[in-house]
Amino acid sequence: MPEYMLRRIMMLAPVLLITSFISYALICLCPGDPARLVLEAQLQGTPSQAQVNDFRADHGLNQPLMVQYVTWLKKAALGDLGKSLKSGDDVWDDYRARFVVSAKLFLAGELIAVLIALPLGIWSAVKANSIIDNILRVIALGGVSLPGFLFGMLLIYVCAVRLHLLPAIGYGKPANIVLPALTLGITGSMSLMRLTRTSLLEVLKLNYVRTARAKGLRERPVITRHVLRNALVPVITAIGMHFGHIVGGMAIIETLFAWPGLGMLLVDAASTRDIPVIQSFVLLGSAFFVGINLLIDLIYTLLDPRISYRAKEG
C-alpha cells in the first residue's frame, strides 16, 4: 500500500502545477486592462496614464504571462501570496484566519447532516417501499430541490424575525452558529440520505448478503457487519468531498448569515475584482481539495482490501 500511495502523490505534482497556472491565468479573462480596471475601482474615477504605468510596473504586469506566473508561483511557494488590492492585508494571513472560521461552520453543519442522513437513510433502505420509506423519500426529494439560502431565509424568518429565539446573522457569540449550521446540516443531509439509501439497496441485492443470511445471521448483524461496511464507501466519499466546501463552497450561506469565512472573503473579492485574492484563493482551494481527494483514497484502501491489490497488479 505505501507504494500505491507514493505513486498517487507523485501524480499530484503535475496536476497542482497546472491548476496553479490556471489560477494565475484567470487574469487573462479580465475584460480590458487589469491595471486600469483595478485603478478605476480604487480611485472611483479615471486613472491617469502615469498611474496606470506605475501600477503595471509595481505588479510586474508588463512582463509576459509566463514570467509573471513563475514569479508569482515562486513567491507563493515561500508563503507570499501578495496583498489584497482593497484592504492591503496580507492574503495568506487573511486566508488562514478565515479558514478556521469556515471550518467551524462546516464541521458543525456536516455533523448535523451526518447525524440526520445516516440513520434515516439506513432506516429507509432497510424498510424499503414501506410507508416510512416513502415519506422519507418525498421529504428528501423536496429537500434536495430546496436551495440552502432559501432554507436559511426561512429559518431566519421563523427563528429570528418571528420568534426572536436566535440572532439572525453575525459571528462571535455561540448562538450565532446555530442557524447557519442548521441550514447547512439540514439541506446537506437530504442528498446524503438519498445516497445512503440507494447505496444500501445496491449492496442488499448482492450475493454475499444472501450468504450472510444463509449462515443463520440475524438481520441486524447482516446489516451492520456485511451491508454497512460496503455500502458506506460511497457515502464516506461524498462526505469527504463535502470538505471541499470549507474553502469557498459555502459562499452563499456565509454571505446570507454574514459569517466571515472563506466564502464571504471570496465573494467580497469577486465583487470588487480583487485579483490577487481571487488568484490565491483558487490556488489554495484546489491544493486543499486535491489533498482531500488523496485522503479519501487513503481511507478507501483501508476500507476495501481489493483496491491496493488491483493497483499492485495493474
Near another protein in 156-185, by CB under 8 A: 156-157, 161
Q: How many residues bind another protein (CB under 8 A)?
A: 76
HSE-up of residue 229 (Cα within 13 Å, Cβ side): 11
Q: Which of 57, 38, 36 is nearest to 48 (CA)?
A: 36
Q: Is 40 in the site for another protein (CB under 8 A)?
A: no
Near another protein in 270-299, by CB under 8 A: 270-271, 273-275, 278, 281-282, 285-286, 288-290, 293
Q: 152 is written with which cell numbers?
A: 436559511
Cβ at position 202, least distance to another protein in Å: 10
List helix spans (H) across 78-226: 91-126, 131-144, 148-155, 178-204, 207-214, 219-221
Near another protein by CB under 8 A: residue from 255, 259, 261, 276: 255
Cβ at position 50, least distance to another protein in Å: 25
From CA 284, how far away is CA 247, in angstroms rounded?
8
Q: Rounded to 5 degrees, what angle do the CA atoms 124, 128, 131 make?
A: 80
Q: Is 119 in the site for another protein (CB under 8 A)?
A: no
Near another protein by CB under 8 A: residue from 64, 78, 145, 163: 145
Near another protein in 4-23, by CB under 8 A: 15-16, 18-19, 22
HSE-up of residue 263 (Cα within 13 Å, Cβ side): 21
Binding span for another protein by CB under 8 A among 58-66, 74-82, 103-111, 208-216: 208-216
Amino acid identity, residue 108? A
Q: Is 127 in the site for another protein (CB under 8 A)?
A: no
